[in-house]
């Protein structure tokens, strides 16, 4: 097995048994078994000494939006983590550069379609509406906590538009933008500074006393903490700042960290990021790092075979685990894997490629 590649447990088949027999023996659902073994049908009669990939019960919940080609070209997938269910939405045409983001209430997905425009997709009705003109390049939308605003970056500027009335909104120069706290404040970098902007009255405040080379930023969605990546000489440091108290913490990290992957757990207690490594056939060895901020904070690391163009990184809504897209053992395809600190890693998808997972509450 190549370095960093995850291996799911397997079952050696006996002549004449079927998926239902295997599922019953291991206490898993047939839906989960078929998800990880797309070559197998519900009615299949299996031959002697075949290998079936086994799903591992994980107790994780919620839904994911992702991009998948399980029905042909790249499309929008809604995946049920707890019951292994899947649903492809046809209303928005996607590309492999599309990033799908679930709204906090699970009702909607914002995604840049193959036409370059940002679409809002109704998960239950599978209908969509467009809120922007075509945008060149890679665009990753972000929902506000109340599901009423959508933020995205384009050409060195941050755009915040009303999800129901796209003509309403604000635009300002900035990078690495995100939502802070209650969703009525944005945080972003501009000219080496970290800016907090109140979206109601337009006031801004600086978080840095002097400019600093910053190339990654993340804020807690339901708290008052900020994390950012900065250059310190030839090194890279991960910094956290309490917006209210002003105190912070700095620690050196791998120079190969992927800036866009920096993400806080929803409860604001842990941070995760990816760091690239050596190239291997079909991708690169990627370290997924999950840490608890502080001088004595715990650090959990695991390795996968990933690709910065497709991996994504997203926390579960209960802050228990993160999801990334990583290469599936022996197949060259990419599937979603969940990593729970102190517990392990679980393969969640196996049908087609599945990339850019965004984990949220139950969708629909």
- For the stretch 74-99, pLDDT in tens is 999 999 999 999 999 999 999 999 99
pTM given for the model:
0.93
Q: For residue 4, what pLDDT band results from cuts at 50, 70 and 90?
A: low
pLDDT above 70 coverage of the chain, percent? 98
Enumerate long-range contacts of 145-154, CB under 8 Å, 24 or more apart. 145/104, 145/179, 145/182, 145/183, 145/221, 145/222, 146/104, 146/183, 147/103, 147/104, 147/105, 147/107, 147/108, 149/183, 149/199, 150/110, 150/118, 150/120, 151/177, 151/178, 151/179, 151/186, 152/118, 153/177
Name the band, by pLDDT with cuts 50, 70 and 90, for residue 12.
Answer: very high
Question: Using 50, 70 and 90 to split pLDDT, how confident is the model at 8?
Answer: confident
Region for residue 202 given its phi and psi (left: phi exceeds 0; alpha: psi -120 to 50; beta: otherwise): left
Taking alpha carbons only, the member of 17, 86, 26, 73 closest to residue 47 is: 17
As a whole number of angstroms, the distance between CA 94 and CA 176 comes to 23
From 28-32, 35-39, 154-158, 328-332, the region with the lowest mean pLDDT:
328-332
pLDDT bin (cut points 50, 70, 90) of residue 211 is confident
Q: For residue 22, give the nearest of 8, 38, 37, 11 by alpha carbon.
A: 11
pLDDT tens-digit map of 140-175: 999 999 999 999 999 999 999 999 988 889 999 999
Provide mean pLDDT across the span 34-45. Answer: 93
| pLDDT at residue 295, as a whole number | 65
Alpha-carbon dihedral angle through residues 329, 330, 334, 335, given to the nearest 10 degrees: -40
At residue 331, the pLDDT reads: 77
pLDDT at 2 over 70: no
Give the best-scoring range by mean pLDDT among 88-92, 219-223, 243-247, 292-296: 88-92
- Tokens for 84, please give them: 């292994």
**H/E segment holding residue 20:** helix 19-26
Is 62 within 8 Å of 359 (Cβ atoms)? yes
Q: Which domains does the chain have, with CATH numbers?
A: 1-56 (3.10.350.10), 269-364 (no CATH)
pLDDT of 61 strictly over 70: yes
Interval 279-321: pLDDT, tens: 987 789 999 999 998 767 789 999 999 999 899 999 999 999 9
Contact in structure between 166 and 132 (CB atoms under 8 Å)? yes
Distance CA 274, CA 258 (A): 6
* Collapsed DSSP state (helix, strand, coil) of residue 67: strand
Helix (H, G, I), strand (E, B) or coil at 8: coil
Give 277 or 331, the one with higher predicted confidence: 277
- pLDDT digit string, tens, across residues 105-123: 999 999 999 999 999 999 9
Share of the chain above pLDDT 90, in %: 80
The gap from C-alpha 15 to its chain's centroid, in whole angstroms, comes to 40
105-119, 194-208, 239-253, 276-290 — which one is most confidently predicted on average? 105-119
pLDDT class for 1, splitting at 50, 70, 90?
A: very low
How many whole angstroms separate alpha carbon 253 and alpha carbon 243? 22
**How far apart, in Å, are the Cα atoms of 46 and each of 14, 16, 29, 38, 52?**
7, 5, 17, 14, 10
């Amino acid at each position: 097995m190549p370095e960093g590649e995850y291996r799911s447990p397997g079952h050696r088949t006996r002549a004449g048994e079927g998926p239902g027999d295997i599922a019953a023996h291991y206490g898993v659902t047939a839906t989960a078994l078929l998800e990880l073994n797309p070559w197998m049908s519900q009615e299949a009669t299996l031959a002697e000494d075949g290998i079936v990939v086994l799903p591992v019960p994980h107790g994780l919940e919620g839904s994911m939006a992702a991009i998948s080609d399980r029905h042909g070209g790249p499309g929008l997938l809604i995946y049920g983590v707890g019951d292994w269910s899947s649903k492809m939405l046809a209303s928005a045409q996607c590309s492999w550069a599309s990033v799908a983001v679930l709204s906090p209430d699970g009702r909607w997905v914002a995604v840049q379609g193959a036409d370059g425009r940002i679409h809002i997709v109704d998960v239950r009705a599978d209908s969509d509406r467009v809120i922007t003109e075509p945008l060149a390049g890679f665009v990753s939308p972000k929902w506000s906590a109340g599901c009423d605003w959508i933020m995205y970056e384009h050409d060195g500027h941050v755009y915040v538009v009303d999800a129901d009335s796209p003509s309403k909104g604000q635009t300002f120069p900035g990078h690495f933008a995100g939502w802070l706290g209650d969703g009525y404040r944005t945080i972003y970098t501009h000219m080496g500074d970290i800016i907090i902007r109140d979206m109601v009255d337009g006031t801004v405040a600086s978080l840095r006393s002097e400019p600093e080379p910053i190339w990654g930023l993340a804020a807690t969605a339901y708290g008052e903490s900020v994390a950012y990546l900065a250059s310190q000489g030839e090194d890279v440091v991960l910094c956290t700042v309490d917006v209210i108290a002003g105190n912070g913490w700095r620690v050196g990290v791998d120079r190969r960290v992927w800036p866009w992957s920096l993400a806080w757990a929803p409860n604001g207690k842990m941070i995760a990021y990816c760091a690239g490594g050596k190239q291997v056939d079909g991708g690169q060895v990627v370290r997924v790092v999950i840490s608890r901020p502080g001088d004595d904070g715990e650090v959990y690391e695991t390795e996968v075979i990933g690709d910065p163009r497709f991996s994504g990184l997203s926390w579960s809504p209960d802050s228990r685990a993160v999801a990334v897209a990583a290469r599936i053992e022996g197949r060259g395809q990419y599937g979603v894997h969940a990593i729970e600190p102190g517990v392990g890693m679980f393969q969640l998808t196996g049908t087609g490629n599945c990339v850019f997972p965004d984990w949220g509450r139950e969708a629909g």
